[in-house]
Structure 1
Amino acid sequence: MIRRTALLSFLTLSLLLSACSKKNDDTAGEDAQAQAASEAQEGNPPADEAPPPPPPKMDYWPAVGPLVAGNYGGACVRMPDGRKMDGSVALGADGKAAAGGIDIDFREARKTSLMRVANDKGEYATTAIFAMEPEKAGLLTLHSGETGKGSIIFSGDDVSLTCSDVSGVDKINAEPFHKSMAKFFNRKKQTVSCLDTKNLLVRRDLDVEIDDAVVKIGGDAFDMNSAAFESIAFDDNGANVTLGVGMPDKRTIAMTYDGAGTLTGLMATNAEGSTHSCNRKE
């Protein structure tokens, strides 16, 4: 059984992981600026080096595209004029979406997120969200409820369609995400450095791996086949990825990867509080 508190716990873990990652990036930038300023004061110009290469990005569309592709029709309201109409949104496996004069290529989405949540009866509802850069207005939200009823929101610039009783969207609710996304995470063991939650002055190395559907963190295991909720978020166009899992016993885990598939952060909790706080081993 999934409860709102479990979802809030996972969202908090994800935000903390993102904040830690950003803090590390900011610190690195500040150190580089300080070094350059010091060299300038000493009369030594900074070394003439080529700019660093862009961060690697996961090409996730080959897996996500077939999962969400389809023609989704329903009773729609078009804005800004508020006109009611029967509408249809065409979303291709290549990420290109079109409807009512709106055309957007969501392969360029800044953020793609998928979440699957179970109710008290073990029935799942699934939501997929694709959001473009803020300056390139574009949003697509697909939702399939436990009973198979769906909805869709599709917007670009000043035009949007909001549709209910959407047919066909139940396909995104057909199976757990970890099955279609396995190739991104099922890989060899990775070692991370973790705080001892009972003594924050102590750190220990732990091996982490995903073996089929089981997340193994040292001696702890999370079987995603029995997860009460799971989520995958691709940020910065695939440069950062967060995998989240919540278990029926109120354990949650959030793992963050870079675009090359390297585990950069891990946080986990149980009903009593934090159980793991880990980051990439330097």
Structure 2
Amino acid sequence: MMERYVRFDTAEGIRWGVLGEGHITEITCNPALGYELTDIYHQPSQIKLLAPVEPSKIVCVGLNYREHVKESQSATKEPDEPVLFLKPPSALLGPGEKIIYPEMAQRVDYEAELGVIIGRECSNIAEVEAEDYIFGFTCVNDVTARDLQKKDVQWTRAKGFNTFCPVGPWIVDKLKYNDLLVESYLNGELKQSSRTSMMIFPVAVLISFISKVMTLMPGDLISTGTPAGIAPMQVGDRIEVRIEGIGSLANDIA
């Protein structure tokens, strides 16, 4: 049975839990690290959902959908191997929290992506082993200051601002992930729509490749790339990422 894991804030502090029908059962720790159920229950209406990850690193993948490569100004052909970059954990943002438009940016885009949470320490593994290292999946918005990305050539500043990595609303485990619908909606209008089966480098390839570059730790987050349809957001907009089998991640721009 699939579970939905949440990280949330209460009057007593930040907690982790399993989302059930009408209640949250508190658990002892980050579920990617192994956990036990408690006998403490919370009502969803009485808590605030937070980003459901506490990664040591956020590894992102660029140019991983063919149609997105065609619309990109930074590539003339499909990459021969995964294009990797990092976002700092300080960029994390929870569902319903506000994305802050930086003063130094002139164009800020949304990028709807499938997020993969690692469940075991992972180094130099083969593609056929990759599924054994997955804990679960979530929605990610790889927010990007597009003008700064073009200006800087490398992407650290453009993708690393505080609030530029909304994640949530929860982690879903045991999900069949190879053909999920990935969508984004800007102010209710459909902007991106594709399926994870359209990735150039599937999830297993990404995990194996990244593990040969750096050790992945339990709880680390991989953001697997965005489909075509990127466009700028303005202050006052609402951006929503929807992924089949996971749910909806919505944030306003401030």
Q: TM-score range by the shorter chain?
A: under 0.3
Q: TM-score, normalised by structure 1?
A: 0.25
| Greater relative CO, 1 or 2 (CA 8 Å, sep 6+) | 2
Structure number with greater Rg is: 1
Taking structure 2 as the reference length, the TM-score comes to 0.26
Q: More helix by proportion, 1 or 2? A: 1
- Higher-strand-fraction structure: 1
